[in-house]
Chains A and B, each alone.
Chain A
């Protein structure tokens, strides 16, 4: 035993470089093999396609990605197009309202659910049900409901309220709110379930302590419970945010960008130029602008969240 150790030591020492490399590859080998598909996906799809997208946004490609390099021409054209500018403003307004209202209503509903009510699981299912539908179905259903002649307005007028007006979907100034209603109907339930899970994670004794301290219930929710739910809030914001940025199918099903261009959104702009407009260069320039916007928001946040680990 002693002899073999003594002998093997110099061997290992002399070939330390290859053995370290070997160790790097062989350590947890099965885990590394299992990770290869995902690593490849990330490299090719996420990073590769992003680079491809950015590269061809600087070309004058039309139907096929074959055009020649034209610098920032596509971007100049992009920001000179009123349809794009309307899309960006629409998304900003829809996004701000949707984020605030989904979080707010979701939290409010979760708080109501948390009051030890009867049939809680039934209500939870009802609230969560819209989330199981696709945006296309949601859009179509709300299109019927909000259709001035067939939907709510028509029904109410037929019932005798002839002055009843609910034509947001056909009104360029109000159509964003029509989108918002359908979006909230779909998204609030999910947000509520997330928040409810967060609320349930709060120790019963915290509530008792707050009652003994004489802190009103609403104050306990805001000052004690909400700060404790930070993780859930971050999750909810990320999920809602990504849903807002890629907003597309709801618009297509509900308004198809209309009336006119009053409910256009960037994702729809990208899709239309790439696949039906036959202008890949322009579509990719728009897509790159969307990516840039997301990065501008995400990078500082990620830096704050994960950079200062020691301070938490």
Chain B
């Protein structure tokens, strides 16, 4: 099956600054792709290029097999939702939804049918005669999604649509967007800097840095098998613990001399000899007490700070001279100053080459 959106060798320069550098991305029909990265990584720029709001410097963009690199946004078969909602403030919700169609000269009953359908899907029928100023943030964003919906397009683009909402609304609307995708089965490209949104919504996540996609994979792979140090550090909260040292065969020696056996680790490639490396372990893969017994590496550690989060507890300690966070059930009573045995689940950890920063 041909990809819904296909980006080939896309580059974009502003003067001498390379914002996107020979970027390739294929998005399948009906897929939900999240572009994730810190601000300035080029994710919104990429989305604007796909939308046709920015002219590319080099490369091609195909939507449904059609080369749209130099097409106007309206001819690309896309609908877009913006962070600031970008509703037309002097028009009612109904006019906001129908304005584009009216300008395009669509027959009246077709417009009415589409507006009614969008209003029904998004449950905004009672709001149709209001102006945006009289709507809450969540309602405005729904109208903005509706405006993309009435265009009856194959590809939806979301540019940080939830960033202007408060935490509660954000999680509500997140579920709604997921429901919308399940119902419409459109291709959706979603830009965010919020990793929770990315992990919960995406079929695949593209993590970007400096205009280059670092890793493109499903959320589970991104979380458990990050391809490099950058991805490992970006995804997860609190972030992964990193211990630098050197690797020789199946033994990892931390910088302070602590030896950690890594025989259980699933190396991507056979390797020989010693080299500098970084061991990464997620907070939930550091186990405590009895559970630590079966682990290949155990050590005594003193708890420094305890952060109870309700459902779980975060604890700060030091292993091999490096501050380490771990996560455990809130049922285990922990106090600052406690001496505990912690064990590393090496099989679920990550090892990176210190120089190339790539996964070993």
Contact = CB atoms under 8 A, between A and B. Distances in A.
Interface string A207-235: 01111111110010001100110100000
A305 interface: no
Interface residues of B, number: 30
B180 to A, nearest CB: 18
Contact of B88 (A206, A211, A212, A216): A206
A205 interface: yes
A3 interface: no
Given A205-B82, A205-B84, A223-B99, A211 B73 contact: yes
Contacts, number: 65
Contacts of A205: 82-86, 159
Nearest to A206: B86
B88 A224 contact: yes
B51 interface: yes
A228 B103 contact: no
Contact of A208 (B86, B87, B90, B103): B86
- Interface magnitude class on chain A: 10 to 19
Contacts of B144: 209
A143 B131 CA distance: 51
Contact of A215 (B85, B89, B99): B99
B8 to A, nearest CB: 22
Given A203-B84, A209-B147, A211-B73, A216 B103 contact: yes
Contact of B73 (A212, A219, A224, A228): A212
B78 A213 contact: no
Given A224-B90, A228-B90, A213 B103 contact: yes
A212 B89 contact: no
A292 to B, nearest CB: 34
Interface in A5-48: none
B137 to A, nearest CB: 15
Contact of A212 (B80, B87, B104): B80
A211 B53 contact: yes
Contacts of A223: 88, 99
Interface of A: 203, 205-206, 208-216, 219, 223-224, 227-228, 230
26 contacts: A205-B84, A205-B85, A206-B86, A206-B88, A208-B80, A208-B86, A209-B80, A209-B86, A209-B144, A209-B147, A210-B88, A211-B53, A211-B74, A212-B73, A212-B80, A213-B100, A213-B151, A214-B73, A214-B74, A214-B103, A215-B99, A215-B100, A215-B103, A216-B103, A224-B91, A228-B89
